[in-house]
Amino acid sequence: MCTHTSTSSSTPAVIMVLLTWHITCWTKKGYIIKTSMTLLLLTPFLLWASEPLPFELTYPTVTKSSDIEEQNYDKLAVWIDGEGYHSSYGHTWEQELTYPEFSDNSYKQAVRTFIAKNLQIEPTAISKDGYGHMNVDGKEYWIRLSINSDSYSYILQRVEAAADSVSFDSNTSYAYTDAYKKRFGEVAFAKNSVLPHVKEYAISSVKYKKYDEHTFYYDGGHLHKGEYWSLDYKKSTKEPNSDRYSIAHDYKKKLLGLGASVLEDKDNTIKFRFEEDGQVNIIEFGGSDSGFSITIIREESFKQSLVLTPDSIKSALDKEGKVTLDGIYFDFNKATLKAESDKAILSTAALMQTYSDLLLSVHGHTDAKGSDSYNLKLSTDRAASVRDAIIAKGIESERLLSKGHGESEPIATNDTDEGRAQNRRVER
C-alpha cells in the first residue's frame, strides 16, 4: 500500500512552479520505502514579475520587514535646499524595516552609512531630511530615507520615462470592457483623432453629444461649447501596477508631438488645447490607479458656405428686411473675431460702399444655453465687434449700429443641437 502527499512553491520573479510528491510504501513484511519526485512546471498564467531591488538596503540587524511595494512608474517628491520640492518619475521600490534598539544614539548614523555605502555615495550625499540623488551604471536614482529609533523606511526610485502605451488611430475599432459591451454593445460615436487607444485598457463608459457645454478649470473656470466626448477607460488585466501617472505622461508626450499646447498640468490631470483642420479641441485627461478619463469639447465653428455679392445682399435686405451674416467666427465664449471672419466682414463693407446711402444695424443672438444675463452681454459684445470690424474697413461709424438680443429672439427650437445652432447668429 502506498500514500502520497504533495507540496508546491512559486515565485513571481520566475514564471515556474515546483511540485514535489512524497511517496511512502509499506511492503508485506513491514518494510517502509520512501521516495520523492520533483517536477518543474513552467506556467503561462503568472503575467507579472517583479524586478529585484538593485541595491542591498536591509540593515544586518533587521528583525522584521514589510513586503517591498513596487511600481513600474510612480512619482517621488523630494525636497532640495534652495529649490523646494522636486518631482521625479520612474520605477520605485518602497519598504519598512524593524531592527533591535541600539545601545546608544548612533543608530541614525549607522543606518545612513550602511545605506549610502550600498548606494555607492557618501553619507553626506543624503540630506538631513533623508533625500539623496545618485547616478550608478549610467542610471539616475533618488532615495527618500526616514530613520526612527527602532525602524527605518525608504523609497528608492530609478528615473525613467513612461512606457509607450498610447496610440492614436480613429479608424481602428476601440476596445470595450465586457460589462459595457454586455449592457450597451459597441457604441458608435463621432471620430476624434485625439481619443486614444491604450495597451491593456478598454472603454467602460461613453458619453457623446453633437452639442453640449463643459467648464474646464485652468486659470479659473472656462466654459466651452461644442461637440462633446466623455470617455472612461479601465484596465483590462489584473497586472498590479498603478498607471496613475504613466498613461497621462505618455498621452501628453504623444499629444504635444501632434502640436498641442498645455493649458494646465497637474501630473495626472492635464488640460490641453489642440487645433486640427481649423477646429479647436479643449481636452482634459485625468488618470487614476486603475483607469483614466478623457473629456473633449471640439469648439463649434460656423463655416462660410457662400459670401454674397453686394447686389444679392441688397436684394435680400429689400425683401426680408434682414440678412443672417454667415461666415462669422469668434473665439469661444468671447467677442474676439477670428481671422476667418474677414471675408464676411469684407462682403458687408463692399455692400455699404456700393450703396452709399445704406444704414445698417448689426444684431447678435445666442441660443438658450447659459444664463439670460450672460447671453445678453455676449451677444451685445459680439455685435459690437462685428460693427467695429466693418468700420475698420472704411465705413463711416454713423452708418452702423449694433445691438445684442441674447436668447430672446430664437428662430428655431432650443431643444435640439440643430435648432440651437440656428439661433446662434449675427444679422444685419
CA dihedral 21, 24, 25, 30 (to 10 degrees): 170
Residue 48 scores a pLDDT above 60: no
pLDDT for 415? 65
Of the candidate CATH numbers 3.40.630.30, 3.30.1330.60, 3.40.50.850, 3.30.43.10, the domain formed by 310-427 belongs to 3.30.1330.60
What residues contact 105, with CB distance under 8 A and at least 6 apart? Answer: none
Residue 334 scores a pLDDT above 50: yes
DSSP letter assigned to residue 423: H
Distance, CA of 339 to CA of 426 (rounded, Å): 16
Distance, CA of 70 to CA of 92 (rounded, Å): 6
Of the listed ranges 233-237, 324-328, 380-384, the least confidently predicted one is 324-328
Nearest partner of 305 among 352, 343, 351, 350, judged by Cα: 343
Task: Give the model confidence (pLDDT) of 97-146 as tens digits.
Answer: 998 877 777 888 899 999 999 999 999 999 888 999 999 999 999 999 99
Look at 177 and 24; give whichever has higher pLDDT. 177
Complete DSSP assignment for 274-309: EEETTEEEEEEEEE-SSEEEEEEEEE-----S-PPP
pLDDT for 28? 45
Provide the whole-model pTM. Answer: 0.62
E strand segments, 12-105: 14-26, 32-42, 64-65, 69-80, 84-98
Task: Give the model confidence (pLDDT) of 335-357 as tens digits.
Answer: 888 887 888 888 888 888 888 88
Distance, CA of 51 to CA of 72 (rounded, Å): 9
Distance, CA of 227 to CA of 297 (rounded, Å): 5
Give the residue-averaged pLDDT of 84-92: 91
Residue 12 scores a pLDDT above 50: no
Q: What percent of the chain has pLDDT over 70?
A: 82
pLDDT for 423? 53
Task: Give the model confidence (pLDDT) of 296-330 as tens digits.
Answer: 999 865 333 334 466 777 777 777 777 777 778 88
Distance, CA of 274 to CA of 256 (rounded, Å): 9
pLDDT for 38? 43
Q: What percent of the chain has pLDDT over 90?
A: 42
For residue 24, list its beta bridge partners: 3, 34
Look at 243 and 23; give whichever has higher pLDDT. 243
Helix 342-354 to helix 310-320 angle, to the nearest 10 degrees? Answer: 80
Distance, CA of 44 to CA of 42 (rounded, Å): 7
Distance, CA of 316 to CA of 310 (rounded, Å): 10
Nearest-Å Rg of the Cα atoms of the chain is 34
Task: Give the model confidence (pLDDT) of 165-200 as tens digits.
Answer: 999 998 899 999 999 988 888 777 889 999 999 999
Residue 49 scores a pLDDT above 60: no
Place of cell 550602511: 114
Half-sphere exposure of 84 (CA within 13 A, CB side): 0
What nine digits make up the cell of 396?
Answer: 463711416
Helix 372-391 to helix 342-354 angle, to the nearest 10 degrees? Answer: 60
What ranges do the domains of the chain cover?
2-42, 64-159, 166-299, 310-427
pLDDT for 405? 82
How many degrees, rounded to 5, is the angle at CA 367 between CA 362 and CA 370? 115
Task: Give the model confidence (pLDDT) of 198-212 as tens digits.
Answer: 999 999 999 999 888
Nearest partner of 341 among 355, 353, 356, 331, judged by Cα: 331
pLDDT band at 79 (very low <50, low <70, confident <90, very high): confident
For residue 154, what is the enclosing H or E element? strand 151-159
pLDDT for 228? 94
Residue 6 scores a pLDDT above 60: no
Kindly tell me the number of DSSP H helices and DSSP E strands found in the chain: 7, 20
Answer yes or no: are the C-beta atoms of 74 and 242 closer than 8 Å: yes
Residue 252 scores a pLDDT above 90: yes
pLDDT for 76? 94
What residues contact 98, with CB distance under 8 A and at least 6 apart? Answer: 62, 63, 64, 65, 150, 151
pLDDT for 68? 93
